[in-house]
Structure 1
Amino acid sequence: MSNHLTIVLSDLPAPAHWGKSAISFADETATIHLADAADRGQAVQAAARKLTSQGLRDVALVGEGWSPALQWRFACGFGEAMEPGTIQWASDGETLDAQRDAALWLKSLTHASPEALSPEVLADEVAERLSGLAPEHITTRQIVGDALLTAGWVGIHGVGRGSDRPPVLLELDYNPTGDHDAPVSVALVGKGITFDSGGYSLKPSAGMVTMKCDMGGAATVAAALKLAIRQGLSKRVKLYLCCAENLVSGHAYKLGDILHYKNGTSVEIVNTDAEGRLVLADGLIAANEAGAERIIDAATLTGAAMVAVGSDYNALFCADDLVASEALAAANAVGEGLWRLPLAPFHADKCPSAFADTANSAPVKGGGHGGASNAAGFLSRFAGTPPKGWIHLDLAGSYVAGNGLNGEGATALGLLTVTKLLLDA
């Protein structure tokens, strides 16, 4: 006898004795009632949270009405960080199993304690897990510690040098074509700050407690590549993870320091808590050196993006309207929230410096007004002009305190969008 509670959908309202509840129970079955649902996906996800709060951990989705999209929305709301539970699908089990496997890996990386997940451990875990999927098609290289400085990756080295555990640039090359000279269809760049204290621009305790999640961009692009490979990705993709701990010590980078990047740009440090853009700059330069036709970066970059779009969306920045429309269409196709925010050429000059080409932020709390656009403008100095465009994702919705739709922790929002963009490249 199965231990899984059966979950069915109904377009009828719940019987009156259940009050305003959208869920009713009978025997070993729970029914989600969608009669009054303005958004069926949101209603199903909210119901999954309610069922989780009642202690349910093993369910079977049964009957008509369970489209793949609705099943996925249920999965997004179901389970807790330490108890994800199990789901038996109504249909499309192979596809949904692959999606959930990728999402749970993303979440496990993001939820790992910062002591357990050092920059090297993050790079090793991603390299090992992805190489295991297609060992004949994947090569990896890691540049660690002071070797970064020798190689010219001053952003990752500068941010990570304050920690006893060295920073790392992971380059992973997935090439299923059999042609060593095949073009790089897409380069993925992920922010992998495994813990962010803010450095000398120290965060308050309340703002630091969740900063193990600051490698969410790296986890998102790595999990998306994993899922795309499982779904038959046939083009060459390079993955760059920019991994570091942003800590305070006698070796840490300081306000007033100037970093000289490989592309000739000099950057004055006016806020050590604006570190994500510094490591991403190296990854963007590397992606351009690889000749990538399209570059996608993902990062838990700014609080300003969270203020702008909340936790229901990620923020999109793109200099090309056509490329932006492709990203928005990809998100819409997979049912993920993505909202475009402004990025104009003048945003590159919003962080002026008297001592360098640019500062890494405006020297005010939160980077000042328009902080998310200003951060994207900073990155535009390093993004180059790949022929199929540059897409910057500020992952505002990728980690939440817990609400009526998501449990506390990583949401995996953005995973399916990046996967779709890879498969459509």
Structure 2
Amino acid sequence: MTDVVQITLQEAAAGEKWGKALFTPAGNGFQIHLNANDALRTVQKAARSLDSLGLTQVQLSGANWTLPLQWAFYQGYCSAKKQAGVGFCGDAATVTQLKQLERCYSWAKDIVNQTPDQLYPQALAQQAAAFISSVAAPGTVSQKILLDDALLADGWYGLHAVGRGSDRKPAMLVLDYNPQGDEAAPVAAALVGKGITFDSGGYSIKATESMLSMKCDMGGAATVTAALALAILQGLNKRVQLILCCAENLISGNAYKLGDIIRYKNGTTVEIVNTDAEGRLVLADGLMCAAESGAGLIIDAATLTGAAMVAVGGEYNALFALDKALAQKALAYAGQQQELTWQLPLEPWHQHQCPSPFADTANSKPVKGGGAGGASNAAGFLSRFVPNEGKGWLHFDLAAAYNSSGNAYWAAGATGLGIRTISATLLGEI
């Protein structure tokens, strides 16, 4: 039987000195020394250090554990090899909320951390649908998965082009969560996720060190799926669609090429100048599918650009919106959920920052990383495919979704950052 190690939390008393120690032994466990000026990061860092001791089961105990502090501990303690092992404390409502978070984040982290051999486009769509069905009431979820040539029949040419080079064909999941069971009920919101299960870069091939972590390029799909699941567990009672655009971006004789032109369902033509700027190509189809639903709120999430990571680092997600009032609300939700999020520039003229002499636009600039303003230009590309001149649309570029290596606060692998923000926005705005 595994011994359960007790973890308590203690603020320094007047005159008490612990030096730089994050924690000290106490009774049958450890006592974390809380820095009140940076409480969440203090606890997360201590949890990461405690995990390095090889502890397999811990119980948080004592009066000082708030819900945010317990969640910070969980995020620091867990790793790709261990998504459980934390016993929460507090009243029943607090423990229930933490268990809901654990369930959704564990699913998202596990699926992002799967190998690209395990997780291919159709499998991602199937696993996401199964997870939503597992948390929703019976009879409230319906779905369809469009595979390979069925995408062409429905006009989803961007997703098909990106994924056709792989033997494991592209897929689009369109899932309908309808808690009232009323087929006439309006779709209140649509969530769109980038689901590139492996990204070689295509003919614009990535270097080995960049390609190694590209199993994480379906992090947007995992994030919006887990966000919807969390909202359902927390009482979502409006109709919501989940749209996942799933593909492998590989090289073959049938892969899409530099210089190809894709004509989208809305008539927009796009010249391919970088096959490694594939995420925006598949999201364009997802956003048009969301628009067809009539949803007043459209949120997409993607591990879209390295430029966003350069701009905000690995601790923040980047937010883009033409609807400035909605962006401010989303930032407020992110603050309430303690998920660092920063708004980057997006204006209507960003649509025109990647000109093409052969098409309405190129999918990037033909320079490394997309050039200056690359993340904003990618968001501008997406804005061509949303309704109502961007009113009601949010785009999250998930710079903080994955760590290629561990650090003092996070284990290597998926973080789940963005799930709580998108779930809270969904619940708050519909």
Partner Cα distance (1:340, 1:416) in 2:
17
Query: Which residue identity lines up with residue 68 of structure 2 in the other structure?
Result: A
The two structures have a TM-score, normalised by structure 1, of 0.97
Is the CA contact (8 Å cut-off) linking 1:347 and 1:378 kept in structure 2? Answer: yes
- Give the Å deviation of 1:55: 1.2
Residue aligning to 1:323: 326
Is the CA contact (8 Å cut-off) linking 2:8 and 2:32 kept in structure 1? Answer: yes
Residue aligning to 2:51: 52
1:65 matched to 2:59? The reply is no
Residue aligning to 1:139: 142
Within 5 A, what are the aligned runs for 1:23-422?
23-34=23-34, 36-91=35-90, 92-133=94-135, 134-385=137-388, 389-400=392-403, 401-422=405-426
Query: Which residue identity lines up with residue 343 of structure 1 in the other structure?
Result: L
Secondary structure of the structure 1 residue equivalent to 2:308? helix
Two-structure CA RMSD over aligned residues (Å): 1.6
Partner Cα distance (1:239, 1:20) in 2:
46
Question: Percentage identity across aligned positions?
Answer: 56
Is the CA contact (8 Å cut-off) linking 1:9 and 1:65 kept in structure 2? Answer: yes
Deviates more, 1:369-378 or 1:400-409: 400-409
Secondary structure of the structure 2 residue equivalent to 1:242? strand
Can you list the C-alpha shifts for 1:137-166, whole angstroms capped at 9, x where unaligned? Answer: 110011100111121100110000000011
Is the CA contact (8 Å cut-off) linking 1:351 and 1:358 kept in structure 2? Answer: yes
Is the CA contact (8 Å cut-off) linking 1:14 and 1:23 kept in structure 2? Answer: no
> Structure 1: any 5+ residue segments left out of the alignment?
none
Query: Which residue identity lines up with residue 121 of structure 1 in the other structure?
Result: A
Deviates more, 1:36-45 or 1:312-321: 36-45
Is the CA contact (8 Å cut-off) linking 1:184 and 1:236 kept in structure 2? Answer: yes
> Structure 2: any 5+ residue segments left out of the alignment?
none
Identify if the C-alpha distance between structure 1 residues 15 and 250 changes in structure 2 by more than 3 Å, giving closer, same or farther. farther
Query: Which residue identity lines up with residue 54 of structure 2 in the other structure?
Result: G
Query: Which residue identity lines up with residue 102 of structure 2 in the other structure?
Result: R
Partner Cα distance (1:209, 1:178) in 2:
44
Is the CA contact (8 Å cut-off) linking 2:323 and 2:390 kept in structure 1? Answer: no
Deviates more, 1:8-17 or 1:258-267: 8-17
Can you list the C-alpha shifts for 1:167-208, whole angstroms capped at 9, x where unaligned? Answer: 001000001123211111110000000000000000001000
Partner Cα distance (1:181, 1:90) in 2:
43
Partner Cα distance (2:153, 2:181) in 1:
32
Partner Cα distance (1:320, 1:285) in 2:
18
Q: Tell me the matched-pair count.
A: 424
Deviates more, 1:7-16 or 1:395-404: 7-16
